[in-house]
Amino acid sequence: MKEKHNFCELGTAVIDTELDAIKQLKSKMNNNFSKACELMLACKGRVIVTGMGKSGHISSKIAATLASTGTPAFFVHPGEASHGDLGMITKNDVLLAISYSGKTRELITILPLLKRLNVPLIAMTGDKSSTLAKMASVHIDVSVEKEACPLNLAPTSSTTAALVLGDALAIALLDARGFTAEDFARSHPGGALGRKLLVKIEDLMHAGKLIPKVKKDTLIKDALIEMTGKHLGMTAIIDDEEKIIGLYTDGDIRRTLDGGFDIQTTPIEKVMTKNPIVCHTDMLAAELLQIMEEKRINGIVVVDKDNKIIGALNTHDLLRAGAL
């Protein structure tokens, strides 16, 4: 009879083991971590992250995290480094080498060459007496009591610990650099987060002849024609100086009819919403969408500092831009 396995129990044991490994990292937040941050912060070139095998995958992710949070960085495969890729590393760079054993042959081979360039070496290992640790300018201890693998062989807890320490380095540097949400968005322009943090109202608004607007003495029937022609579900009501004095939307039409107003003879001033909510060009699209959802409005007018109308848009414009 085939033996049944309690997969959830085994999975929970892995999580518990790796959580313990992460908690132990707190005790290793010492002067060496600070020195590593200082070296990377002072780097005039790039932070080169390298590692073999599973450590190589972790190194690649750390390099990507550093690069996206304000610290120029990239991954170099140590095996390829000794076959030409060492040319990617300059004397202005800092090397972050990850090897749990600290004895990875491909890493040890290239270190003397990097020493000649006086490239500072930050080693992240689980053995402070290893060759890599001893050759390092700064050593960061990522040792764990045991791997989450039942055989205590497959890199699991150790790679998780290295990944967490890499994130700690990246975020410590992010804060030291004064890296902002807008800086983050600039390095992620193709993603949803980048669009939310970068797209402003001036990028989306309908301007010029595309703005639906009428004067206060315009008849309701003519205002409706303006709304239909501009396709925004609303029209602004302006004075002689192009300043906004009111708004009329699709939602107001039913209230107009229920109120018994004759659209053929009644001026729009009689039924418009006075002092409507407006926005400005430098507002983020995501911020405006939140306001419009809270106020339950579908269209809005864009004004300048003098309250003159310069644009208009609706929720469909914001959603198409990925502001959600």
Structural domains for the chain: 7-179 (3.40.50.10490), 201-320 (3.10.580.10)
pLDDT at residue 188 in the model: 55
pLDDT at 155 over 60: yes
φ and ψ at residue 181, rounded to 5 degrees = -60, -35
pLDDT at 94: 96
Please name which of 87, 79, 85 lies closest in space to residue 52, comparing C-alpha atoms.
79
Q: Dihedrals φ, ψ of 38, to 5°?
A: -65, -40
pLDDT for the residue 185: 61
**pLDDT tens figures, 275-305:** 899 999 988 887 888 888 898 889 999 999 9
Question: Is the overall model pTM greater than 0.75, yes or no?
Answer: no
Q: Which amino acid is at 43?
A: C
pLDDT of residue 121: 96
pLDDT the model gives residue 1: 47
Answer whether residue 114 shows pLDDT above 90.
no
What per-residue confidence (pLDDT) applies to 76?
94
The answer to whether residue 194 scores a pLDDT higher than 60 is no
Instruction: Say whether pLDDT at 204 is over 60.
Output: yes
Range 87-114 average pLDDT:
92
Mean pLDDT computed over every residue of the chain: 90
181 pLDDT more than 80? no
**Angle, to 10 degrees, between the axis of helix 250-258 and the axis of helix 220-230?**
160
Structure tokens at 184: 């983050």
pLDDT for the residue 183 = 66
Confidence of residue 192 (pLDDT cuts 50, 70, 90): low
Answer yes or no: are the C-beta atoms of 139 and 123 closer than 8 Å: yes
Contact 287, 183 (CB under 8 A): no
